[in-house]
Amino acid sequence: MMRSKLLSLVPCATGPFRTMSTTTKLTTVEVNDKTGIATLTMNRPPVNGLNLDLLRDLRQSIAEIEGNKSRGLILTSSNPTIFSAGLDIMEMYKPDKERVRAFWTALQDAWLALYGSSVPTAAAINGHSPAGGCLLATSCEYRVMLPKFTIGLNETKLGIVAPMWFMSSFLSVLPRREAERALNQGRMFTTDEALQIGLVDEAAGTKEEALEKCAQFIGTFAKVNPIARALTKQQFRAAELEQLESERAQDLEKFLFFINQPAVQKGLGIYLESLKKKAKN
């Protein structure tokens, strides 16, 4: 994919400074040359639905951030009210055989890249973050969320089952008892509830403040040896990463089998209709 490089002047809390910015249609990477922190912004209107292209783009941007020696990665959205609406249901509803395989493989790749990233990661959750959106946020090491939005793994409410590695990300943030209950209920948490339960680490009033708090978190590693930090993080996350690495073919087959069940297709169709009806009203 062609990626256009440009230098831009952007304002921030500490005043205007130069950032190196890489833009594709679906994500933007901006590296602050003062802090060395990269902001990875999802930009797929209308709701940052995670389709094949956005997932591939995310993975490519994560690799780019690791390659350019950034000091950390902040994941956020260009949409003022939606971080990500989760997986693009259109990829799973009446799917094309080859594309849906590529789609799930791209999701596995993006998760492995983000959850296993060697750089410190934080999510500035500047909007709603259901299902796959929550997966992205909980794959990061730190979360700052804006008020009056919702976050959670709502899969059971859609009649689908979150795979083990979705649960791994959730479990790396929440105590097992809370995670199990929330997943079984398909519960969406408001910002206040998420803060109370520990699903997010901090609340912020504005996106700028959220980005600043994420940067402060990443700054806490300034005096830590980066190799020791990265290896320590990888040791903590190795079991979950290795589990998916070693079972990704079976995981794909399980997904395909599940998604092709007539009852699942029917449920997804009804859910899509309800979303479209709601959007019209």
Ligand X SMILES: CCCCCCCCCC/C=C\CC(=O)SCCNC(=O)CCNC(=O)[C@H](O)C(C)(C)COP(=O)(O)OP(=O)(O)OC[C@H]1O[C@@H](n2cnc3c(N)ncnc32)[C@H](O)[C@@H]1OP(=O)(O)O
DSSP per-residue letters across 69-107: T-SEEEEEESSSSBS---B-GGGTSS--HHHHHHHHHHH
Which lies closer to ligand X via its Cβ, residue 5 or residue 278?
A: 278
Catalytic residue check, 132: yes
Question: Measured from the CB of residue 5, what is the shortest distance to ligand X in angstroms?
Answer: 31
- Determine the Cα–Cα distance for residues 65 and 62; give it in Å rounded to an integer: 5
Cα angle vertex 116, ends 217, 146, to 5°? 40
Catalytic residue check, 36: no
Binding residue for ligand X (CB under 6 A) from 97, 250, 278, 281? 278
Catalytic residue check, 195: no
For residue 186, state whether it binds ligand X (rule: CB under 6 A): no
Kindly name the residue from 154, 158, 212, 240 that is annotated as catalytic.
Answer: 154
Catalytic residue check, 87: yes
Cα angle vertex 262, ends 260, 268, to 5°? 80
Which lies closer to ligand X via its Cβ, residue 248 or residue 254?
A: 254
- Which segment (17-25, 86-94, 172-180, 192-200) binds ligand X by CB under 6 A? 86-94
Classified as helix, coil or strand, 34 is: coil
Binding residue for ligand X (CB under 6 A) from 55, 73, 75, 85? 85
Which lies closer to ligand X via its Cβ, residue 161 or residue 230?
A: 161
Residues from 202 through 241 that contact ligand X (CB under 6 A) = none
Residues from 93 through 132 that contact ligand X (CB under 6 A) = 128, 130-132
For residue 88, state whether it binds ligand X (rule: CB under 6 A): yes
- Determine the Cα–Cα distance for residues 59 and 41; give it in Å rounded to an integer: 12
Quick check: 214 and 124 in contact, CB under 8 A?
A: yes
Question: What is the number of H-type helices and E-type strands within the chain?
Answer: 9, 11
Question: Measured from the CB of residue 124, what is the shortest distance to ligand X in angstroms?
Answer: 17
Quick check: 200 and 138 in contact, CB under 8 A?
A: no
Cis peptide before 46 (omega within 30 of 0): yes
Binding residue for ligand X (CB under 6 A) from 163, 187, 203, 211? 163
DSSP class of residue 281 equals -
Give the residues lining the site for ligand X (CB under 6 A). 46-47, 49, 81-82, 85-90, 128, 130-132, 154-155, 158, 160-163, 254-255, 258-259, 275-276, 278-279
User: Where in the sequence numbering do the catalytic residues fall?
Assistant: 87, 132, 154-155
